[in-house]
Amino acid sequence: MFIFKNKKKYLSLHSYKDMLIYYYFMAKYKRILLKLSGESLMGEKQHGIDEKRLQEYAGQIKEIAGLGVQIGIVIGGGNIFRGLSGASKGFDRVKGDQMGMLATVINSLALQTALLSIGVKSVVFTAVAIESVGERFSKDAVLQYLENGTVCIFAGGTGNPFFTTDTASALRAAEIEAGALLKGTRVDGVYTADPEKDKSAVKYAALTFDEAYVKNLKVMDLTAFTLCKENNIPLVVFDMNKPGNLYRIVTGEKVGTLVTV
C-alpha cells in the first residue's frame, strides 16, 4: 500500500497504478518547456558552471518528473559565451552566435549528466548536427521520448544566428505542444521595473501578453513573446533558485508571474 499526505488528509493507494493516477491528477501541466538561463548555472561563481547549483536544478526537475510531467528544457549559454556581447567586441555576429550555440550544448550536456546521476532518464537533442553529442531535433522522436518519461534537453538554440534561446524555448514549446513555458530566472516574477535597480518596483501576479508589450516589460524578446501569444502558450516567470518553486507551479500554486492571452 502507498500512503501519501495530501494537504490535511492522507490518501491510501493500493497499487502502483493508483499511485501513477494520483500523481497524474496532481499535476496542473502534463507537459512543460522549462527555460533556464546560462547565467543561473554560474551560482556563486563568476564564470562557468557551479556544480552545486546544477545539482539543485536537477533535483527540482526530478521532483516534477516524479509527478509524471513531461519535460522539455532549453538552457542559455551566457555563463560561457554570449554571441551578442562577442559581436560588440569585434567578433563576426554569425560566428559569435554559433559560439553561443555551442555554449548551450556544453550546458545541456552538464544538465543531462546531473540528471542521469540521480536516476532521471534524459536525452540531448541538438539544433545543429553534432552526431556524437546528441540526437538531431525531430518532433516525432522528442514526443516518443517525452511520452516514455524521458527528459528532453534542447541544445543549440534554433540552429540559426540572430535568434536568442528565449526564441528557441518558445519555438520548442510550440513544437512539442507544451501546456506552458516556465522561465526560471533569479528574479521571482515580472516587475514594473528592474527590482535589482529600483527598490520601488512592483511585482505583477498576472499579465496579458498585450499588457506586457504595451508597458514594454522585458519578459522575453519580442520574437519569443509573439510565438507564445500566437500559439496560446501560457508563460510563467519565476525564481528557479528557490527550491520547490518548480514543483509548486506544476501542481497549481500561484508562483511568480503568469502571462497569458
**What pLDDT is attached to residue 7?**
43
Of the pLDDT bands very low, low, confident and very high (cuts 50, 70, 90), residue 18 is low
pTM for this prediction: 0.88
- Cell, residue 26: 496532481
What's the whole-number average pLDDT of the chain? 89
**What pLDDT is attached to residue 8?**
39
d(CA 64, CA 218): 28
Instruction: Give the pLDDT mean for 82-101.
Output: 79
Contact 249, 237 (CB under 8 A): no
Contact 218, 163 (CB under 8 A): no
- Cell, residue 13: 493507494
CA nearest neighbour of 217 among 228, 231, 207: 207
Helix pair angle (222-230, 165-175), 10° resolution: 10
The 3-state secondary structure of the chain reads CEEEEECCEEEEECCHHHHHHHHHHHCCCCEEEEEECCHHHHCCCCCCCCHHHHHHHHHHHHHHHCCCCEEEEEECCCCCCCHHHHHHCCCCHHHHHHHHHHHHHHHHHHHHHHHHHCCCCEEEEECCCCCCCCEECCHHHHHHHHHCCCEEEEECCCCCCCCCHHHHHHHHHHHCCCCEEEEEECCCCEECCCCCCCCCCCEECEEEHHHHHHCCCCCCCHHHHHHHHHCCCCEEEEECCCCCHHHHHHCCCCCCEEEEC
d(CA 58, CA 112): 9
What would the pLDDT profile of 102-141 be if each residue is shown by its tens digit?
Answer: 999 999 999 999 999 999 999 999 999 898 899 999 999 9
**What pLDDT is attached to residue 11?**
47
**What pLDDT is attached to residue 202?**
96
Of the pLDDT bands very low, low, confident and very high (cuts 50, 70, 90), residue 90 is confident
Residue appearing with cell numbers 498576472? 206
**What pLDDT is attached to residue 73?**
98
The 3-state secondary structure of 62-78 reads HHHHCCCCEEEEEECCC
Of the pLDDT bands very low, low, confident and very high (cuts 50, 70, 90), residue 88 is low
What would the pLDDT profile of 64-75 be if each residue is shown by its tens digit?
Answer: 999 999 999 999
What would the pLDDT profile of 136-190 be if each residue is shown by its tens digit?
Answer: 999 999 999 999 999 999 999 999 999 999 999 999 999 999 999 999 998 999 9
What would the pLDDT profile of 196-239 be if each residue is shown by its tens digit?
Answer: 889 999 999 999 999 999 999 989 999 999 999 999 999 999 99
Instruction: Give the pLDDT mean for 43-64.
Output: 95
Flag whether pLDDT at 253 surpasses 80: yes
* List of domains in the chain: 27-260 (3.40.1160.10)
- Cell, residue 250: 506544476
d(CA 127, CA 159): 5
